[in-house]
Structure 1
Amino acid sequence: MTNHQETIKQLIEQIGILSRKQEAFKYEIFELKNKLDQLQSSIDASDNVEKATLDQTDYVVKSEPIASGHREWIDSNVHDEATIKQPSFQHHKNQNSKVTHNTPQKSKKLSPFRKSNLEKFIGENLLNKMGILILVIGIGIGAKYSIENELISPLTRIVLGYLSAIGLLGFGIKLKKKYESYSAVLVSGAIVILYFITFFAYSFYELVPQTVAFAMMVLFTVFTIVASLNYNRQIIAHLGLVGAYAVPFLLSNDSGRVEVLFSYIAIINIGILIIAFKKYWKPLYYSAFGLTWLIYLSWFVMDYSNDSHFMLALSFLLLFYLTFYLTFLAYKLVKKEGFAATDIVMLLMNSFIFYGLGYAILNDNAIGEDYLGLFTLGNAVIHFIVAAIIYKKQLSDKKLFYLATALVLAFISIAIPVQLDGNWVTLLWTAQAALLFWLGTSKKISIYEKLSYPLIALAFISLIHDWSYNYDSYYHLEDNLITPLLNTSFLTSILFTTAIGFIVFLQRKGDFISSLKEGSTWLKIVSYAVPILFVFSLYYSFRLEIEAYWNQLFSLSELENKSISDYVVTVNDYSLRDFKIVWVINYTLLFLGVIGYLNYKKIKNIVLENSILVLTIISVVVFLTQGLYALSELRDAYIEPSIYYNRGSFYLIIRYISFAFLGFSILSLYRYIKKDDIHKGFKIAYDIILHITIVWVVSSELIHWLDLAGARDSYKLGLSILWGCLFFPFNRFRYFKE
């Protein structure tokens, strides 16, 4: 029986040795795999080594990288444990205790991995943590009971608390060699007790002064970090992190010395982040990031004062921002970490928390608000330096470089409206959008092309704002009068249109390949939206100039006339508004005709062709209704002379100039209608519009001449005769077509 026990003991020891060796092999395999990944990332894709054999180790290697430095500790343990002798198997004559070594075990008797992992989790992880939690709670309940019943003095309570923590700590350290996991939990519990006992001694009983309590808690924090490194347990480091951040709040006496608080947090951050980087404990980095910005935001919202904290707030804001940015870059550039979605979130959060808080601080200050644009540009410079370093030294992967340059462009885009006003914003956004689109499509950098589209939208919105503000104010004051086609608003419109036209040209090139997914909804939207935007901006660039010219004349025509009762009567030449309507319609007909001709000869786009047909038909209808009515108003103004304004023969000549524009538009329609592949519906619509236009224009012309002749009352008879005469040529025309 004694021999069996000895054999079992030796087997258990051997299993322990093999388990620790497996851990060592696991770390070594991962380090080799990590080095191989680094080498593969630095060579061309054509030279990639097949990693099929490497994948066989995936069931052993975890996804979390292991920092360098573990190897020495593991190797030393394995070396020491390797000196244990192999178990000796003795043959026993007892028939009931025979062991057949050559008979294989049935597979169903083997313990599944899942079952053993669950048992290991419960036995080695869950139960011991529950135990230490119960222990800490028990000590707290015991302390509470002794306080409420006054069983022991305050000093005795604190001393017993420290003794309990030290005893637990010593017991945990003693068990480290054989039961490392359990030992780590005991040490963690002891550290928690030390923190809270010190807090109670300072806050509740005033047995320890603030300086001593602060020094003790800092010492506990340092010990916690050392323990986390020694045990290689991230949870202990998290415990130290929480304790470290809690110290200034637990020991606060409301002195308001925020510089001490932030200096302490900055020092803690630097130490914690060095450990997080060295041991590759990224959750520690995330925790420090969240707690630091949460503390800063809470202080800024609740206690910030512009008069007292302006420079202090900016200094520590910059320090925290750079600390987390440099840590992020260290993971990418030194550890050669891959790029993930969480990295984008972290970098964007860090950048825009810094920018948002910095903007709010500067905007609150009388001097600082003058430097908002410079501050925004400074953000762009920081990201530009990072992008330049990555590009020059060929560090990390291209995704990080593109993200950094995207942030550069984003902050430059924000700086434009922050620092500048009016047309400059539109021009710079437009130039930036065109440059990004060209770089994105020519260099095949997808993020640049994707960034150009929102910039185009922003530039267009800014252009609309400029139009609504500038052209509306030109004719209200004489100081704001402009020279048609020679003003900044028109120049801005033309430059915007030119840039959008350049983008359309690149889109229509045969070798253009968008980074947007082929056949996607976004690609379809962009392929239609950008050309529409080009035509729209080109049309309105000249139309607004025409309207502004006539609006200025109308404003300048204002006269003040005193009536008999001494009331001031304001008089304007309203015929100028009719001229504006007529010229806008004429311009529209000309614009559509020219675009239609260019499309017919060179562009040959079926969508543009159909759009021009529809818009031209609508414009002709507008001419026949609103245009002819405005022309009749001009005729009436000519017939009835004004005592304030001179009205010459141009009031009548404009009518025939407008007919010429109408004829040009009808001819441009006919050029499309005669094509064989045109839709039959358009041909029918054209015939209807042509006949209606002829009848309408001729009828209007008859009324026009009757009015000039002073025979306005005879227009009914004249129209009846005219329509009867038109019936025969129309009927003959239909006969020839059939």
Structure 2
Amino acid sequence: MDNSERLNLLLVKLENLLLRQQGFEAEIEALKQEVKALQSPGTSFTPPPAPISEPIIVPPPRNTPPQAVTTQNISQPVPNPFPPVQNTPQGNFADRFKRENMVKSDFEKFIGENLISKIGILILILGVAIGAKYAIDHDMISPLTRIVLGYAVGAGLMAFAIKLKEKYENFSAVLVSGAIAIMYFITYAAYDFYSLIPQALAFVLMVVFTSFTVVAAIKYNKQIIAHIGLVGAYAVPFLLSDGSGKVGVLFTYMAIINSGILILSFKKYWKPLFYASFGLTWMIFLAWRLDLGNNNNFFALSLLFSTIFFIIFYITNLAYKVTKKEIFGFSDVVIILLNSFVYYGVGYLILSQNKNSVELLGLFTLANAVIHFIVSLIIYKKELADRNLFYLILAMVITFITMAVPVQLDGGWVTIFWTIEAAVLFYVGRVKGIAIYEKLSFPLIFLALLSLLQDWEIYNWYYYGGEPQDMPILNVGFLTASIFIISFIWMLNINKVQTEKPAEWPWMRQILNYGIPSILLAVIYFTFRIEICKYFNYLSQSTRIALHQRIGTDDATYEFNYNIDTLKTAWLYIYTLFFAAVLTYLNIKKLKNQNLAIANLVINLLAVVIFLTHGLYTLSELRDHYLFPESKYFSISSFNIGIRYISFAFFALLIVQCYQLQKSALLKKDFKTLFDYLLYISILWIISSELINLLELSHSNGSYKLGLSILWGIYSLFLISMGLAKNKKHLRIGAMVLFGITLIKLFFYDIYSLSTISKTIVFVSLGVLLLIISFLYNKYKHLIIDDAEVKN
């Protein structure tokens, strides 16, 4: 009986003892319950189930003939008075014993057979490198002898590894990788440091070693060979470097290593190897290139090798997708984006730091787009990978084309291109159901908006209206804005129709639902506002008069028609009132959008408030310019007075549209009271302004105080009458508030500046008005009571 059979027999005996122990424990527990039942009369006792006997079979010794297996090879059944406890947390003792020993055995095997060998070969390589460096520094052996000995060590290690392959494959694989790394070291040193072999032979040898590494990694099916043999070879230039700066050799050497990894990628799914080479290559290259600063001595070399590395890593990453039919994942997005933008960043840096190549930046950006387009076309035609990879690469095409435009062009062309691109992507993404295109259109929409704002130079336009030579409508800015508006109207219609498909990012679609119409409205408003500014700016420049000019110089003092700037502000208010009214009308009659109705309400209120405050003040400035001209060079026409009534007409148009809006079913809440306040306050404000205007035109200076007090008193009486006639309590209360303000104004402001006759007129007038109001309340008090009762 050998040790394994004896171990099995002992385990069976242990299991029998455990079963008997469990039986005893169950019997003791049953006895305790029976004792408790006897001590507490009335408590029922349930006897345990009948005992079950389970035979524990002892396996027969190895090599025992089948006919020799008798009952003597099987242990007798062990009586078990109670069933064994099943599914204990600790589990079966024998199973636990085997698992613990297996874990210990696997861990010990990993350390002994795997980890120690790899650490050993790395230490060996480092030791050889340190020893070689010591011998070189102290001139202990000649350069040729060093190289010969190095090759001899590598070849010996390789031969020893091949001999051990049949019995110790894992250990042999580690030795092979170490031998390959040593061969790389020696070849690099023989060419770069000692010039013992020509460049062509050095590259041939490196290609041979790389090829051998690839074949060995595939033959052994061990990734460790590729890791130590290829990625480990990156350390060659740094361990043996003498500062000679032969970067061309270094990067060619790295390109050969990466080519070997590329070939491996078509055979083996060893992505950690790819990640390691990808990171090391770009780190080494970027550290070298950034250290150069503005030094352009390596312009062509750095551009060439960055392109080579980019293409190698691009093809390598795609090889995993194509050959392994791998599903496109997050790591692939990271690698593709990193590889593309690191290469583009390096190329942009190289070209921008060379004054002779700055103009090629746009072409370089477009070349990146072409590369990605060719790749996406191949994937699409050959159906080499899943759709997500195709869409990502196509998105890279769009991204680089988008970047190429501002790099190469400027002004409105960038805005036009980004706007059209955003609209096309939005159409394809929403209508064709390709989510990534809709996501790409999202940042482009806001990029186009920012570009348009930059074209406008919005603060400059607001105050000055652009350059003097810009004719209204007939300019590039208006063309750019028109294309922007048309594109956004198209996207708005698509967004309105294609809403049934679920979105991957619902929050993004929610933003677009409000963002596109909001941007569209703002752009339409400011587009025509800017054109109005351009017109008046052009008109103002045409009135320029040179007052003083030095003889023989171009220096001069100019004067412009100051009235034109004020007219421009007045026309901007008229345009704003017209825009708000038309927008409200279109929504009521055509669009019928509830969200837009709320926006209409807010916009209209803002337009009314701004016009009643600053707008009327602007109109009063125009009146003053007409009455009291400030310059003898320019004549001010009566149009300064006429524009006032044009403004009132458009203001009335907006009030009418506010009334139609509150009557429509677009607003969920009842805004009748709000509209009444808006209407009657606006009327009071307008007639008060007009009273002052008429008094100023008649040169009745100071009489507006008396006129306003009487006007407000009469208007209070009017509001009381309307409140009583229409049973509107808020009008009656408003009238009382207005009358109170009038009385406060009379006693604390008007009385000190009025003559005796004026005071008499005011007090008599307001007294009569108060009596009339009191009479109306007494006469129609039943209407007020009835109204209150109805509401109750």
TM-score by length of 1: 0.77
Q: Matched residue of 2:547: which SS?
A: strand
CA distance in 1, matches of 2:538, 2:616: 23
Structure 2 runs not aligned, ≥5 long: 7-60, 78-90, 550-554, 728-792
> What does residue range 398-437 of structure 1 map to in structure 2 within 5 Å?
398-437=387-426
Q: In structure 1, what is the equivalent of residue 529 of structure 2?
A: 543
Alignment of 1:433-512 (within 5 A): 433-468=422-457, 472=461, 480-509=468-497, 512=500
- Is the contact between residue 266 and residue 320 of structure 1 (CA under 8 Å) also seen in structure 2? yes
3-state SS, counterpart of residue 561 of structure 1: strand
SS at match of 1:339: coil
Match of 1:597 among 585, 602, 607: 585
- Offset from partner CA, 1:12-57 (integer Å, 9 cap, x none): xxxxxxxxxxxxxxxxxxxxxxxxxxxxxxxxxxxxxxxxxxxxxx
- Which residue of the other structure, out of 272, 297, 300, is the alignment partner of 1:311? 300
| Contact 2:462/2:530, CA 8 A, preserved across alignment | no
1:32-181 counterparts in 2 under 5 A?
A: 89-90=63-64, 100=74, 108-110=93-95, 115=100, 118-132=103-117, 133=119, 137=123, 154=140, 172-181=161-170
- Whether 1:578 and 2:566 are equivalent positions in the alignment is yes
Residue 334 in structure 1 maps to residue 323 in structure 2: yes
How far the C-alpha of 1:616 sits from its partner, in A, is 0.8
Matches within 5 A, 1:235-634: 235-303=224-292, 307-468=296-457, 472=461, 480-509=468-497, 512-513=500-501, 515-517=503-505, 520-561=506-547, 570-634=558-622
Structure 1 residue 720 displacement after superposition: 1.9
Q: d(CA) in 1 for partners of 2:666 and 2:231?
A: 76
More displaced 10-residue stretch of structure 1: 501-510 or 421-430: 501-510
User: Relative to structure 1, is the Cα distance of residues 385 and 393 closer, same or farther in structure 2, using a 3 angstrom cutoff?
Assistant: same
**Cα distance, 1:299 vs structure 2:** 2.2
Q: Residues 426 and 113 of structure 1: is their aligned pair in 2 closer, same or farther, counting only changes over 3 Å? A: farther
Structure 1 residue 458: Cα displacement: 0.5
Mapped contact 1:475–1:552 kept (Cα < 8 A): no
**Aligned partners of 2:462 and 2:533 also within 8 Å:** no
Q: Deviations over 1:120-165 (max 9, x none)?
A: 542332234453436865897899999999xx99569989999887
Q: Report which stretch shifted further, 246-255 or 659-668.
A: 246-255
Q: Which one-letter code corresponds to 2:355 in the other structure?
A: A
- Select 1:733's aligned residue among 710, 722, 728: 722
Q: Distance in 1 between matches of 2:525 and 2:644?
A: 23
Q: 1:715–1:287: structure 2 CA closer, same or farther, 3 Å change rule?
A: same
Indicate if the aligned counterparts of 1:214 and 1:247 stay in contact, CA closer than 8 A.
no
CA deviation string 1:389-409 (max 9, x = no partner): 222233321112111211111
Task: List per-residue Cα deviations over 1:238-296 (Å, max 9, x = no partner).
Answer: 00013322233434444433322222222222122202321222222222222222222
Deviations 1:532-583 (CA, angstroms, capped at 9, x unpaired): 00111111111111122223333443434359xxx98653332222212211
Task: Sort the Cα spacing of 1:506 and 1:114 in 2 relative to 1 into closer, same or farther, 3 A.
Answer: farther
- CA shift, 1:330, in A, is 2.4
Is 1:638 aligned with 2:644? no
Matching residue of 2:33: none
Aligned partners of 2:425 and 2:437 also within 8 Å = yes
Change (3 A) 1:730 1:361: same
| Residue segments in structure 1 that go unaligned for 5+ positions in a row | 9-86
Query: Which amino acid in 2 is paired with 1:635?
Result: R
Report which stretch shifted further, 160-169 or 647-656. 160-169
Q: Deviations over 1:415-474 (max 9, x none)?
A: 111111100000010011111111111111111111111111000000000000796499
Cα–Cα, structure 1 residues 592 and 512, in superposed 2: closer, same or farther, change >3 Å?
A: farther
1:64 matched to which residue of 2? none
User: Amino acid of the residue matched to residue 510 of structure 2?
Assistant: K
Report the CA distance shift for 1:167/1:123 in structure 2 as closer, same or farther (over 3 A).
farther
Whole-angstrom CA distance in 2 between matches of 1:722 and 1:7: 120
Where 1:308 maps in the other structure, the secondary structure is coil
The structural deviation recorded for 1:181 is 2.7
CA distance in 2, matches of 1:307, 1:189: 38
Is 1:672 the counterpart of 2:661 in the alignment? yes
Aligned equivalents of 1:141 and 1:383: distance in 2? 45
**Residue 706 (structure 1) aligned with residue 695 (structure 2):** yes
Query: What's the secondary structure of 1:328's corresponding residue?
Result: helix
Q: State the alpha-carbon separation in 2 of the partners of residues 369 and 276 from structure 1.
A: 37
Instruction: Note the C-alpha offset of 1:640.
Output: 1.8
Change (3 A) 1:721 1:672: same
Number of aligned positions between the proteins? 646
- CA distance 1:153–1:100, shift in 2 (3 Å): farther
**Distance of aligned partners of 1:429 and 1:636 in 2 relative to their CA distance in 1, 3 Å threshold:** same
- Is the CA contact 2:533–2:568 (under 8 Å) kept in the aligned structure 1? yes
Deviation at 1:308, TM superposition (A): 3.1
1:652 to 634, 641, 650: 641
Provide the secondary structure at the position in 2 that maps to 1:648.
coil
Q: Secondary structure at the match of 1:712?
A: coil
What is the aligned-residue identity percentage?
A: 44
Change (3 A) 1:360 1:198: closer
Contact 2:420 2:487 in 1 (8 A): yes
Rate the CA distance shift 1:404–1:165 in 2: closer, same or farther, 3 A: closer
Shift of 1:735: 1.5
Cα contact 1:217–1:244 (8 A) shared by 2 = no
Whether the 8 Å contact between 1:225 and 1:240 is mirrored in structure 2 is no
The DSSP-based 3-state class of the residue aligned with 1:279 is: coil
Contact 1:423 1:463 in 2 (8 A): yes
Secondary structure at 1:365 match in 2? coil
Offset, 1:357: 1.1
Q: TM-score, normalised by structure 2?
A: 0.72
What is the 5 A alignment of 1:189-200?
none
2:158–2:175 Cα contact (<8 Å) kept: yes
Q: Displacement of 1:209 after TM fit?
A: 5.3
The amino acid that maps onto 1:538 is I
In 2 relative to 1, CA 92–436 (structure 1 residues): closer, same or farther, beyond 3 Å?
Answer: closer
**Cα distance 1:558–1:136, how it changes in 2: closer, same or farther (>3 A)?**
closer
Q: Which of 669, 673, 678 is the matching residue for 1:689?
A: 678
Deviation digits for residues 339-379 of structure 1 (CA, Å, limit 9, x no counterpart) = 11111111111111121111111222233211211111111
RMSD: 4.2
Asked whether the equivalents of residues 265 and 319 of structure 2 are also in contact (C-alpha less than 8 Å), the reply is no
